Amino acid sequence: GQQVMQIPQYQHVQEGEDFTTYCNSSTTLSNIQWYKQRPGGHPVFLIQLVKSGEVKKQKRLTFQFGEAKKNSSLHITATQTTDVGTYFCAVSNFGNEKLTFGTGTRLTIIP
């Protein structure tokens, strides 16, 4: 079945430093979504990428979809304590609403 790996599994950064998480799929994707889950909370949708090579920005967050549509990245510039949480990529296959979540990257911020 679909396999989605994220690296790193954990990341500890000083407040103000940048952070990047990478998502890799074994198959070509129709689209990819990113979610954030705060400790004790539920996943919250951040963004969806559809086009090959697509780049989208949300304030300090930059999302990128690979040219081959097999990988994606999320980059946070100048992290803040509010960025703490686990970031998941989630993928679906063509014509299927079912999401397969990545393994997640847990971000902690050192004040």
Partner 1 sequence: GAGVSQSPRYKVAKRGQDVALRCDPISGHVSLFWYQQALGQGPEFLTYFQNEAQLDKSGLPSDRFFAERPEGSVSTLKIQRTQQEDSAVYLCASSSEGLRTQPQHFGDGTRLSIL
Size of the site for partner 1 (CB under 8 A): 21
Is 33 a binding residue for partner 1 by CB under 8 A? The answer is yes
Is 30 a binding residue for partner 1 by CB under 8 A? The answer is yes
E strand or H helix that includes residue 64? strand 61-65
Least gap, CB of 39 to partner 1 (angstroms) = 11
Is 11 a binding residue for partner 1 by CB under 8 A? The answer is no
Q: Which residues lie closer than 8 Å to 30 by C-beta, 6 or more apart? A: 50, 69, 92, 93, 94
| 106 and 86 Cβ atoms separated by less than 8 Å | yes
Angle at alpha carbon of residue 15, lines to 10 and 19, rounded to 5°: 45
Report the site for partner 1 in 83-102 (rule: CB under 8 A): 88, 92, 96-102
Residues that bind partner 1 (CB under 8 A): 30-31, 33, 41-45, 48, 50, 88, 92, 96-104
